[in-house]
Structures are given as structure tokens and as C-alpha cells.
Amino acid sequence: MMNKEIKKMNIENQIAELFRAGVANPENKLNGVVDYDFVCADIMIEMSIDILIEEMGSLEEFYKVFDSLVDIELALEAA
């Protein structure tokens, strides 16, 4: 595997870990429902937007990963 692919996997794993922590954080819930905007903001604060852009190439790439995590979380909640 190329070094660039490994680096991208590592950043995606970091995002996933912060996502899980954000979903579990009671401060990110309104009336018992996760507010994913708060979760997203927590990740951006923790990692910094500059690092996300540097590591992923653009914020659009970050949002693709974030949106897929939200989709998985919603599917698990519905199950």
C-alpha cells in the first residue's frame, strides 16, 4: 500500500474515533437526539480545519467521510 493511502486511512480512523466520541457526548444531544452539526464542529476543532485540508486534500473529502459515518450511525440506530 502506498504511503499516501496509509496516511489517508490514518486520518479517516482519527475522524471515526472523534465521531464516536462526539456521538457519545451528551452535550451534542438535543432532546436525546444527536446533533451531527455539533459532532462535526467538535471534530474540526479537535483536528483543525487546516490539518483536515492538508491531510485530505479538501474539506469536501472530509465531508464525504463524515457523511458516511452519519449514514452508518443512523442505520445502526434504525436497526
Q: How many domains is the chain built from?
A: 1
Count the Cβ atoms, other than its own, within 10 Å of residue 30. 9
Range of the domain at 32: 3-78
Residues 17-68: tens digit of each pLDDT: 999 999 999 999 999 999 999 999 999 999 999 999 999 999 999 999 999 9
Higher pLDDT, 1 or 75: 75
pTM surpassing 0.85? yes
